[in-house]
Structure 1
Amino acid sequence: MSTTTTPFKRTILEGERLEATTNLLQQNLVDLVDLALLLKQAHWNVIGKNFRSVHLQLDEIIVTVRAASDEVAERIAALGVTADGRASTVAKNTDLKEYPSGFQNVDATLAHVGDALKTTIDGLRKAIDQVGDLDPISEDMLIAISGPLEKHLWMVQAQEA
């Protein structure tokens, strides 16, 4: 996925450690970019009882997800590899299921958003498990990103109960 060609003279990681770390980060970047887009789609098209609170909650989650995607992309770049958040890359490589078209009632919205958050969190946790031996700084960043997303998932799921 990533390229290990770097324009920098002083590299933080090299060789297989660089390649493996940036590949894991790139996959998480793709999922976070897609999650932000999916959340905006949900935000625009949610209808029904409790519309306003869910509509506003989705914007809160989007702020967290966009900040996380920026953090991951900048970490990839700091490691000397180009971060790729282009629409074609995201569409081709995302782990998230496609969000349905049209208006979605609150219950359907919460279910789709909950599933997308869980998929993204699963990807982050998988990367955390793998990247720890490769780059503890990237591991720490992914852990820091996971906590707020897990809190958002809890808050979404609490409404489904």
Structure 2
Amino acid sequence: MSNANNTQKVAEFTAPGVDNQAAQDTIALLDNRLVALIDLQLTLKHIHWNVVGPNFIGVHEMLDPQVDAVREMTDTIAERIATMGGVPVGTPKSIVDRRTWDEYSIGKGLVTEHLGALNKVYDGINSDHRKAIDKLSELDPVSEDMLTGQLAELEQFQWFVRAHIESSSGELKS
């Protein structure tokens, strides 16, 4: 299946009351978020395995619930894509081919290194979720609401990360 087909509506139906163009546009936005969140859950697990140094155990244990929550978000988005008449694609090569950002570059690293980098990952994920929410407000309020709920949780996860790298004066170490 080519990249172009990954985000195209293929069913002869969509959600009642949604026109075909709005469905296709919604599917494309949701597909982008699906790719981002699959990438995020893998990155979180990578950090979980490779973080070392002071506060290791707190960070190690903080990340697994985030992995689980993000995995649930991807499932919700994939099911919404199918509901809209699209085909959710989550194979490894398709994810790499469709993402528009660089590979997470830290292997084994200190807590501060990983969390500084993870904060930047969350910056991208969360700001792109906001952009998708803005566009979905015109296309599909159900998908908009779904991403809004996810964003609240993702922003809380970023706050957890920032709490580890924030100084007492409110500055973030990167």
What one-letter code is carried by the residue in structure 1 that aligns with 2:124?
A: T
Aligned to 1:39: 44
Normalised by the size of structure 2, how large is the TM-score?
0.87
Question: 1:31–1:96: 8 Å Cα contact kept in structure 2?
Answer: no
Query: Which whole-Å deviations, capped at 9, do the CAs of 1:75-110 have from their partners, x for residues lacking one?
Result: 001111101111112112224431225311100110
2:153 to 128, 142, 148: 148
> 2:172 maps to which residue?
none
Give the CA deviation at 1:11: 4.1
RMSD of aligned alpha carbons: 1.4
Equivalent residue runs for 1:52-131 within 5 Å: 52-131=57-136
Q: Does the 8 A contact of 2:8 with 2:86 survive in 1?
A: yes
Alpha-carbon distance change, 150 to 144 in structure 1, aligned in 2, over 3 angstroms = same
In 2: Cα distance, 1:101 partner to 1:151 partner: 23
Question: 4+ runs of 1 displaced by more than 6 Å?
Answer: none
- Note closer, same or farther for the CA distance 1:160–1:103 as it changes in structure 2 (3 Å cut): same
Amino acid at match of 1:40: K
Structure 1 length as normaliser, TM-score? 0.93
How many residues get paired? 160
Letter in 2 for 1:43: H
Structure with more contact order per residue of length (Cα contacts < 8 Å, sep ≥ 6): 1
How far, CA to CA, are the matches of 1:34 and 1:55 in structure 2?
Answer: 18
